Chain A
Amino acid sequence: MSHTSPGTNAPALLKVTDLQKSFGDHQVLKSIDLQIGKGQVLALIGPSGSGKTTVLRCLNGLEIPDGGEVAFSDGPAVVFDSGTTQKQAQVLRTRSAMVFQNYNLFPHMTVLENVIEGPVQVQRRKRKEAVAEAEVLLARVGLEAKRDQYPHQLSGGQQQRVGIVRALALRPSLLLFDEPTSALDPELVGDVLKVIKELADEGWTMVLVTHELAFAREVADEVVFMDQGVVVERGHPEVVLRAPQNERTQQFVHRLLNPF
């Protein structure tokens, strides 16, 4: 099933304006602008240290930008300055959910407990209802049989699929993936990418930080190439990944496609 690109016509779900962030003297983000349409998949690519993961973390309030604005069209908007607190930034988490590179599952909870923790403890949904929903979600990623196991009993690929289900269970309007397959053994990458692809096809809105260029080309509606804290090039994946205009993008794409 091919994913139809909503392109620029899709109504914006999230608008990021002039995002800035420094760690000490090092400016990791220098005025980043992004716009994500509803149902769109945005892939953030770039060399390590380019700031792409920091952008993602800012969208979830895990990093507090020094300046700029993150605004959901129909929800919370946060204007950042040097005085913005964790508390002010955390409203963003009511709309977005994060999938981590290292899964970060709770090791002392079973698979099911991991998934229902947010819905029950934070969103105060009924436990029974949360369990029923979790079981449906686990079944979709083929892990219904693992519900009572602990994370350490699962393979990396299975753990990451639980990580995705934990995010979905929060019923977010935006899914954030931070290099979701980078910690996986190569033979397990496919299972996780398959799940992400299905979610994209279903119309979930997502921002994906990834090194898997072939995957980005397949699922993304827009690819954004970042380097040294700025957006160097953005556009349709076929353009950015096949025929990049910018020299730095060309070098990066070439290096990733021809490592030797």
Chain B
Amino acid sequence: MDVDWELVGSSLWPIVQGGLVGTIPLSLLSFAIGLAIALVVALMRLSRNPVVSFIARAYISVIRGTPLLVQLFVIFFGLPSIGVTLDPWPSAVIAFSLNVGGYAAEVIRAAILSVAKGQWEAGYTIGMSRTTTLRRVILPQAARVSVPPLSNTFISLVKDTSLASLILFTELFRRAQEIAAFSQEFLLVYIEAAMVYWVVCLVLSAGQTRLERRLDRYVAH
């Protein structure tokens, strides 16, 4: 098979551009909002109030128990039936944020629980409240523990944003689909798109390693 290098050359920039204006902003914004949701949900799950804890459990269960694609479709195609019509961009941000929130909540909860009980007591005994102990003592230590699993969540998210192409959001993969349909070079263009995703994830993995090393400075090796 002959590789059409001219097509590879002319299609690369539009695909990368799709990543720059679609995939990356969508991933970053959804991850940031998702983490905020996750922290709240994780603390709710750890709450001693059974109602609060139940709400968090139910949320996590629904998010993890239903396909991401279905969640996207409910928001973009479903909500207009009750009068809520959203553009592709806000629909995608909402769906991905809620999704990250559900998964990352469990990561953060586990990380909080991994901090030794004596750390809570040390915080209390120097006079801190529960909230202050959480903020000053527990979360900084939990953050270190949760970097590897949260990096996984983020890398999954970057790849999952390709699903947004199905609700008409222009990102990396939708660009590739358009070029493939036009050129009829499906194998070539889709492999090209795959490579671009891969490069993005390589960069993220390298970032993860650096972050872990930075946070590990206070840990014995």
Given contacts A108-B218, A152-B218, A152-B219, are A100 and B118 in contact (CB under 8 A)? Answer: yes
Q: Specify which chain B residues have a CB less than 8 angstroms from the CB of A102 in the assembled complex.
A: 118
Residues of chain A in range 121-151 having any CB-CB distance to chain B below 8 Å: 121-123, 150-151
Q: Decide yes or no whether B61 CB sits under 8 A from chain A.
A: no
Q: Decide yes or no whether B127 CB sits under 8 A from chain A.
A: yes
Q: Decide yes or no whether A228 CB sits under 8 A from chain B.
A: no
Complex Cα spacing A132 to B113, Å: 35
CB distance from A104 to the nearest CB of B (A): 4
Q: Decide yes or no whether A94 CB sits under 8 A from chain B.
A: yes
CB distance from B13 to the nearest CB of A (A): 44
Query: Chain B 119-130 against A: per-residue CB contact (8 Å), 1 yes, 0 no?
Result: 101101111101
Closest A residue by C-beta to B140: A108
Q: Are A106 and B119 in contact (CB under 8 A)?
A: yes
Given contacts A102-B118, A117-B136, A152-B220, are A123 and B127 in contact (CB under 8 A)? Answer: yes
Q: Decide yes or no whether A112 CB sits under 8 A from chain B.
A: no
Q: Decide yes or no whether B132 CB sits under 8 A from chain A.
A: yes
Given contacts A121-B136, A150-B217, A152-B220, are A104 and B124 in contact (CB under 8 A)? Answer: no
Q: Which of B121, B126, B127, B144 has a CB less than 8 Å from the CB of A108? A: B144
Given contacts A106-B119, A121-B132, are A62 and B127 in contact (CB under 8 A)? Answer: no
Q: Specify which chain B residues have a CB less than 8 angstroms from the CB of A97 in the assembled complex.
A: 125-126
CB distance from A90 to the nearest CB of B (A): 7
Q: Decide yes or no whether B27 CB sits under 8 A from chain A.
A: no
Q: Which of A93, A121, A150 has a CB less than 8 Å from the CB of B218? A: A150
Q: Are B119 and A104 in contact (CB under 8 A)?
A: yes
Q: Specify which chain B residues have a CB less than 8 angstroms from the CB of A61 in the assembled complex.
A: 124
Q: Specify which chain B residues have a CB less than 8 angstroms from the CB of A105 in the assembled complex.
A: 122
Q: Decide yes or no whether A76 CB sits under 8 A from chain B.
A: no
Q: Are B127 and A104 in contact (CB under 8 A)?
A: no
Q: Specify which chain A residues have a CB less than 8 angstroms from the CB of B126 in the assembled complex.
A: 93, 97, 117-118, 122, 166, 170
Given contacts A93-B127, A121-B136, A170-B127, are A107 and B122 in contact (CB under 8 A)? Answer: no
Q: Are B122 and A104 in contact (CB under 8 A)?
A: yes
Chain B's interface size range is 20 to 34
Residues of chain A in range 26-42 having any CB-CB distance to chain B below 8 Å: none
Complex Cα spacing A106 to B217, Å: 13
Complex Cα spacing A121 to B135, Å: 11
Q: Specify which chain A residues have a CB less than 8 angstroms from the CB of B144 in the assembled complex.
A: 108
Complex Cα spacing A87 to B220, Å: 35
Q: Specify which chain A residues have a CB less than 8 angstroms from the CB of B121 in the assembled complex.
A: 62, 98, 100, 104
Complex Cα spacing A98 to B116, Å: 17
Q: Decide yes or no whether A54 CB sits under 8 A from chain B.
A: no
Q: Specify which chain A residues have a CB less than 8 angstroms from the CB of B196 in the assembled complex.
A: none
Q: Decide yes or no whether B110 CB sits under 8 A from chain A.
A: no
CB distance from A125 to the nearest CB of B (A): 12
CB distance from A204 to the nearest CB of B (A): 17
Q: Specify which chain A residues have a CB less than 8 angstroms from the CB of B116 in the assembled complex.
A: 104
Query: Chain A 59-84 against B: per-residue CB contact (8 Å), 1 yes, 0 no?
Result: 01110000000000000000000000
Q: Which of A93, A122, A151, A166 has a CB less than 8 Å from the CB of B132? A: A122
Given contacts A121-B132, A122-B132, are A107 and B141 in contact (CB under 8 A)? Answer: yes
Q: Decide yes or no whether B137 CB sits under 8 A from chain A.
A: yes
Q: Are B124 and A100 in contact (CB under 8 A)?
A: no
Complex Cα spacing A124 to B218, Å: 26
CB distance from B136 to the nearest CB of A (A): 6
Contacts A/B (CB < 8 Å), 5 sampled: A98-B121, A106-B122, A118-B126, A121-B136, A122-B126
For the A-B complex with A117-B126, A150-B217 known, give 9 more contacts whose Cβ atoms are closer than 8 Å. Answer: A61-B124, A62-B124, A90-B127, A100-B125, A102-B118, A107-B219, A108-B218, A118-B127, A166-B126
Q: Which 7 A-B pairs rank lowest in CB-CB distance, beginning with the nearest?
A: A118-B126, A104-B122, A122-B127, A152-B220, A104-B118, A98-B125, A150-B218
Task: List residues of chain B with CB under 8 Å of any chain A CB.
Answer: 116, 118-119, 121-122, 124-128, 130, 132, 136-137, 140-141, 144, 217-220
